[in-house]
């Protein structure tokens, strides 16, 4: 297993829809393991393959609680699709590993039903509520080329983009 580099905004790959996985092979299994290790190292609640520079429809989600000595637990979804959603959940202080040093309040659905393949390539359907529904919406957005800042007002989004441009000029 390896810790992968996480790409950050404004990398253009983050804005590109990801490709469907057609073969759940050993290469995909290695990628999933590496993504999980990267997510825990970051640390994050979830991670999409595109965030590590791989344009495939794969996400991993952290299900570990907040107990310090708790064993790490997670799951992977391949080609996930939201097939049903309802309600309103206000995700306060939502953040993203690919949008560093920025958090914002985002309105999301409070319940989602997702169809996908598990890491063995078997079909699964999951119904999630609250925070867990937010994580899936956030990660599936990545697979569709959408960042959480795209859900913000133009003013808030532009403030972040301006901040990033200034940082890039300083680094150059």
Give Cα 104 distance to the centre of its chain: 16
Beta-carbon contacts of residue 93 (< 8 Å; ≥ 6 apart):
103, 104, 105
CA dist., res. 39 & res. 136, Å (int): 14
| Tokens of residue 106, six digits | 């985002």
Distance CA 106, CA 91 (A): 5
> Is-contact 35 4, C-beta < 8 A?
yes
DSSP string, 24-83: --HHHHHHHHHHHHHHHHTT-SEEEGGGGT--BSEEEEE---S-TTPPP-EEEEEEEEEE
Structure tokens, 41: 């190292």
Q: Is 139 a catalytic residue?
A: yes
> Which residue numbers are catalytic?
139
């Amino acid at each position: 297993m390896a810790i992968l580099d996480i790409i950050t905004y404004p990398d253009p790959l983050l804005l590109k829809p990801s490709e469907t996985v057609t073969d759940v092979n050993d290469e995909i299994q290695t990628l999933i393991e590496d993504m999980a290790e990267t997510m825990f190292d970051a640390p994050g609640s979830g991670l999409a393959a595109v965030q590590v520079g791989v344009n495939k429809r794969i996400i991993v989600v952290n299900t570990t609680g907040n107990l310090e000595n708790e064993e790490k637990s997670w799951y992977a979804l391949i080609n996930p699709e939201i097939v049903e959603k309802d309600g309103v959940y206000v995700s306060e202080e939502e953040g993203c590993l690919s949008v560093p040093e920025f958090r914002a309040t985002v309105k999301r659905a409070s319940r989602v039903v997702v169809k996908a393949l598990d890491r063995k390539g078997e079909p699964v359907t999951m119904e999630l509520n609250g925070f867990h529904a937010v994580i899936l919406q956030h990660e599936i957005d990545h697979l569709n080329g959408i960042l959480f800042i795209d859900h913000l007002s133009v003013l808030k989004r532009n403030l972040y983009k301006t901040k990033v441009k200034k940082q890039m000029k300083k680094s150059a």
